[in-house]
Amino acid sequence: MTTLRAFTCDDLFRFNNINLDPLTETGGLGFPVPDSCPSKQHHIHVPGRRINRGEVMGKAEGSVAREEWHGHVTALSVAPEFRRLGLAAKLMELLEEISERKGGFFVDLFVRVSNQVAVNMYKQLGYSVYRTVIEYYSASNGEPDEDAYDMRKALSRDTEKKSIIPLPHPVRPEDIE
């Protein structure tokens, strides 16, 4: 049986191919530590196996009293052999529900401009491109840095959908609040 459950420290020892996906930015060793935001780290788990089918990590950002308060998707990844089964949508739905309960105005995420499969999936889930961030992702092997889309989905607290009105011009990483 497959279950959707909160991330625990023991899950750090269940390393598998979802952590090796070149399109998932997972940062350094301390990156996924669940103590920083335990209510927003969930994964799809198969009991008795060392492999995770997928995981989502997120956090709340901004000022609670202002319209910038939102949920942020830090990382979303599904093992290649389990893609196109709706698991990413389930994980995103869970993070959106948590962000809704915490009073967020929107949920946002960053995705490589070249990752059209992910961009299209997020669009199908109701996200839209809010802005382009120039050279957001560092490249390797002498390639140029890559731009990112900052994609957003308004939550019910944003009744006028102000949080998803696209910016007319790209920004640089240092310009992001």
Task: Report the 10 Å Cβ neighbour count for 135.
Answer: 14
What domains can you pick out in the chain, each with its CATH number?
3-175 (3.40.630.30)
Q: List the structure tokens of 160.
A: 């006028």
Q: How confident is the model at residue 102 (pLDDT cuts 50, 70, 90)?
A: very high
- With a pLDDT cut of 90, the percent of the chain lying above it is 46
Determine how many CB atoms are found less than 10 A away from the CB of residue 104: 26
Which of 23, 8, 17 is closest to 53 using CA atoms?
Answer: 17
Q: What is the pLDDT of residues 20-78, one digit of tens each?
A: 555 555 544 444 444 444 444 444 444 455 456 778 888 888 887 789 899 999 888 88
Query: Residue length, the chain?
Result: 177
> Token digits for 115?
């990752």
